[in-house]
């Protein structure tokens, strides 16, 4: 052990997302030595990932190097390292090539997509959790329009110009609205063989309404707004099979060439290494102080935790707010005890303060609930924008995103329309000879 570790408790925070960074910040003035471990060097503002996927923003606009975020925090260092497990008995975090000890551990490694036991869908229906996911979804959306330019038959063109989104939560709703907007307003004049305004966007929701955590009247309003924009909303439509040609919901088949996944999540597999009970989504069932049984030094926070709010007795939702509050609670609790102002047996229970929930549907259209207030339309959209800008990390990012939004609004632009990575089209549909010499340009 180092000199420092002998004098100050060592706190390891696994994950630089909302929960992990909130924990680190709550420890800023505590007499501890903090290390934030992440397998990536950047924090991602996940609520705006769909805007990277739809070419409205660049990856750098919604992310920040973790090192920069905690740069001025003298007691905190950062390590780029993939954690493979936890040895709870010996208080060590494990890596592929070694391990490191801790006095306190804050697990905040988040969640990834879950395909409900159908991992073979992953390649057919990418989800939206990382920057790489977002640029992959962007690549597929843009390539779909490119392919459509080539398709000979109207039927094939129709399939290529159909987008299916599985899951009617905020991400699914926002992605569906944004794709429809791009196709209908941003790019029609770029394509001279097809009318991108005929693009079909189908949103599949297994339950009886979209945006399930919202009040029913906001779900209904969101659905009406989406339908007015031309998005088809299919309720009670659990997806049973996905093939390269389309989506099955029970007996029914919808020919869809582009499928995106916004349905289930499962917690980071790190939780399983703790040897304590997990819920069905792989989340660690934590006590009132967000720790695991018998280990008051091991906090599990954010999307990895199945936590209950002490005041309401309700589960804490898997949203950014929940992660931030859990992380802050863990950090604050550790800070208090490290300073000798409290002990584990005197911890107050964690309560979630629900500050509201919101989802954007399209330009000037959103739904939001804040306390007892409900907003729709333009006002909800403004509220959504203000709050998302406020929670972005970094002043530069805020300016940048504001500028991009203003520009996109002004000119109906989506300027980050880059196909990077593999730009080859599916050769099944590429017939440049027919393409170039058949239909003359529309205009």
Residue 391 or residue 407: which is nearer to a copy of itself going by CB?
407
Among 100, 370, 387, 389, binds a copy of itself (CB under 8 A): 100
> Rounded distance, CA 109 to CA 326, Å?
13
Residue 254 or residue 416: which is nearer to a copy of itself going by CB?
416
Among 54, 308, 394, 401, binds a copy of itself (CB under 8 A): 394
CB of 17 closer than 8 Å to CB of 28 = no
- Contact residues for 410 (Cβ-Cβ < 8 A; gap 6+): none
CB of 255 closer than 8 Å to CB of 158 = yes
**By the rule CB under 8 A, 96 interacts with a copy of itself:** yes
Distances (CA, A) of 418 to 172, 187, 277, 349, 422: 22, 13, 44, 48, 11
User: What is the distance, to the nearest Å, from the Cα of residue 35 to the centroid of all Cα atoms in its chain?
Assistant: 24
Among 46, 51, 54, 58, binds a copy of itself (CB under 8 A): 58
Q: Which residue has the tokens 């919202």?
A: 214
Among 140, 158, 193, 374, binds a copy of itself (CB under 8 A): 193
Residue 372 or residue 424: which is nearer to a copy of itself going by CB?
424
**By the rule CB under 8 A, 435 interacts with a copy of itself:** yes
> Rounded distance, CA 187 to CA 414, Å?
9
Q: Which of 394, 405, 318 is nearest to 357 (CA)?
A: 318
Residue 63 or residue 223: which is nearer to a copy of itself going by CB?
63
Residue 35 or residue 369: which is nearer to a copy of itself going by CB?
35
**By the rule CB under 8 A, 403 interacts with a copy of itself:** yes
Is 174 marked active-site? yes
Concatenated DSSP letters for 193-216?
Answer: SS-GGG-EEEEE-SSSSSSTTS-H
- Taking the complex as a whole, how short is the minimal distance between the CB of residue 432 and a copy of itself, in angstroms? 5
CB of 105 closer than 8 Å to CB of 14 = yes
**By the rule CB under 8 A, 90 interacts with a copy of itself:** no
Positions 327 through 356 that interact with a copy of itself (CB under 8 A): none
- Taking the complex as a whole, how short is the minimal distance between the CB of residue 162 and a copy of itself, in angstroms? 20
Among 53, 109, 125, 187, binds a copy of itself (CB under 8 A): 187
Catalytic residue among 174, 205, 297, 337: 174
Among 74, 119, 227, 279, binds a copy of itself (CB under 8 A): 74
- 265, 270, 273, 279: CA torsion to nearest 10: -20
Among 80, 373, 379, 402, binds a copy of itself (CB under 8 A): 80
Concatenated DSSP letters for 224-292?
Answer: HHHHHHTEEEE-S----EEETTEEEETTEEEE-SEEEE-SEEEE-GGGGGG-S-B-TTS-EE--TTSEE
- Contact residues for 184 (Cβ-Cβ < 8 A; gap 6+): 196, 197, 199, 229, 230
Positions 29 through 48 that interact with a copy of itself (CB under 8 A): 33, 35, 37, 39-42
- Taking the complex as a whole, how short is the minimal distance between the CB of residue 163 and a copy of itself, in angstroms? 18
Site string for a copy of itself, 103-132 (x = CB under 8 A): ----------------------------xx
- Taking the complex as a whole, how short is the minimal distance between the CB of residue 399 and a copy of itself, in angstroms? 8
Residues identified as active-site: 174
């Amino acid at each position: 052990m180092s000199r420092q570790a002998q004098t100050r408790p060592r706190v390891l925070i696994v994950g630089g997302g909302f929960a992990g960074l909130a924990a680190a910040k709550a420890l800023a003035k505590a007499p501890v030595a903090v290390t934030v471990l992440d397998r990536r060097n950047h924090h991602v503002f996940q609520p705006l990932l769909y805007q990277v996927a739809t070419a409205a923003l660049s990856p750098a606009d919604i992310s920040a190097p973790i090192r920069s975020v905690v740069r001025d925090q003298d007691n905190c260092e950062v390590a780029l390292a993939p954690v493979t497990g936890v040895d709870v008995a010996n208080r060590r975090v494990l890596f592929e090539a070694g391990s490191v000890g801790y006095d306190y551990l804050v697990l905040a490694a988040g969640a990834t997509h879950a395909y409900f036991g159908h991992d073979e869908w992953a390649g057919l229906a990418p989800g939206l959790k990382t920057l790489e996911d977002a640029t992959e979804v962007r690549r597929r959306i843009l390539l779909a329009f490119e392919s459509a330019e080539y398709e000979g038959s109207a039927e094939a063109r129709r399939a290529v110009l159909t987008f299916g989104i599985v899951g009617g939560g905020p991400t699914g709703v926002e992605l569906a609205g944004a794709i429809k907007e791009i196709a209908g307003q941003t790019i029609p004049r770029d394509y001279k063989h097809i009318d991108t305004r005929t693009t079909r966007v189908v949103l599949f929701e297994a339950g009886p309404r979209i945006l399930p955590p919202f009040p029913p009247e906001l779900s209904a309003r969101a659905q009406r707004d989406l339908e007015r924009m031309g998005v088809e909303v299919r309720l009670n439509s659990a997806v049973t099979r996905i093939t390269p040609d389309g989506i099955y919901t029970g007996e029914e088949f919808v020919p869809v060439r582009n499928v995106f996944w916004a349905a289930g999540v499962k917690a980071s597999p790190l939780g399983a290494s703790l040897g304590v009970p997990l819920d069905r989504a792989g989340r660690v069932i934590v006590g009132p102080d967000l720790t695991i049984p018998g280990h008051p030094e091991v906090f599990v926070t954010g999307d990895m935790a199945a936590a209950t709010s002490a005041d309401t007795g309700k589960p804490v939702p898997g949203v950014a707010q929940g992660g931030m509050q859990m992380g802050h609670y863990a950090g604050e609790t550790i800070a208090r005890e490290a300073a000798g102002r409290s002990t584990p047996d005197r911890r107050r229970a964690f309560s979630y303060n629900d500050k509201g929930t919101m989802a954007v549907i399209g330009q000037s259209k959103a739904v939001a609930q804040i306390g007892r207030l409900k907003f729709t339309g333009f006002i909800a959209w403004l509220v959504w924008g203000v709050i998302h800008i406020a929670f972005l990390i970094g002043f530069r990012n805020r300016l940048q995103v504001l500028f991009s939004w203003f520009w996109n609004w002004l000119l109906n632009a989506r300027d980050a329309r880059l196909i990077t990575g593999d730009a080859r089209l599916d050769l099944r549909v590429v017939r440049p000879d027919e393409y170039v010499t058949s239909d003359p340009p529309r205009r």
